[in-house]
Amino acid sequence: MKQTQIAIDGPAGAGKSTVAKLLSKQLNFIYIDTGAMYRAITLKALELNINLEDESKFTFIDNTRFEFINSKLYMDDLDVSEEIRTSEVAKNVSLVSSHLLVREKLVKMQQVMAENLNVVMDGRDIGYVVLPNAKYKYYITASIKERAKRRHLDNLDRGIKSDLSKIEAEIEKRDHFDSNRLHNPLKQAKDAILIDTSDLSITEVVKFIAEKIREDE
């Protein structure tokens, strides 16, 4: 069988992980949420109580195992999908994901995970670093206001306490940090298709991408 890779990048809260998850279900592809991996490493670093500023302390990644099953992330055989969404992790993940050593190790793991599989992978650097040869590349974005509103509603849905203006400030700060860091910043690959979801529903975006892929394959 011919392998198909779909790379989806974009800023926090633009709807890319919802799009990627639904798309993977419709096409029967494996969904790899790379943001969840950076969050999980941050969670483990917090549990190990290491100095998050010191990238040499992150060698523990070599002994960490990841697996995606039904869009859930298992780290060392434990489902961490909920735990990685806490504000403690959200606050520290930009710092952790800015370390070159962390990125090199996770990018390698992500490339190995995507080998010989039909995958939908989402993140910040998928189209131009992790899967530069992916056949389909999308850059999904939306206005900061819209993104903050969505994350807020999502938090309320999950029963997590939420403050809209705080989220807006947090997203703005994270965008700035993620786009300006030295190693693999958030960036649209030259050959990626830009989709602004501010005025589009998730269903419309998924339909647009899925139709294109079904037409070709």
The residues of the shown chain that bind ligand DC, judged by CB under 6 A, are 12, 34-35, 38-39, 93-94, 97, 123-125, 174, 178
Closer of 12 and 144 to ligand DC (Cβ): 12
Query: How many residues make up the chain in this entry?
Result: 217
Tell me the closest approach of the beta carbon of residue 216 to ligand DC, in angstroms: 25
CB of 124 to ligand DC, least distance (A): 4
Single out the residue of 111, 127, 109 nearest to residue 6, CA to CA: 127
When the beta carbons of 29 and 99 are compared against ligand DC, the nearer one is 99
Least distance in Å: CB of 173 to ligand DC?
10
**Distance (Å, whole) CA 122 – CA 16:** 7
Output the DSSP codes for 130-166.
Answer: I-TT-SEEEEEE--HHHHHHHHHHHHHHTT----HHH
Shortest distance in whole angstroms from residue 127 CB to ligand DC: 10
Nearer to ligand DC by Cβ, of 93 and 206: the residue is 93
Q: State how far the Cα of 216 lies from the Cα of 5, in Å rounded to an integer.
A: 13
Q: Which is nearer to ligand DC, 115 or 215 (CB)?
A: 115
The distance of closest approach from Cβ of residue 1 to ligand DC in the complex, given in angstroms and rounded to an integer, is: 26
H or E element: which one contains 68? strand 66-69
What element of type H or E holds 193?
Answer: strand 193-196
Cross-strand partners of 32: 121
Please tell me the distance from the alpha carbon of residue 76 to that of residue 92, in angstroms, as a whole number.
Answer: 21
Using the minimum distance from each CB to ligand DC, give the nearer residue, 15 or 123. Answer: 123
- Give dist(CA 36, CA 39) in Å, integer: 5
List, in sequence order, every residue forming a beta bridge with 72; answer none if it has no partner.
69
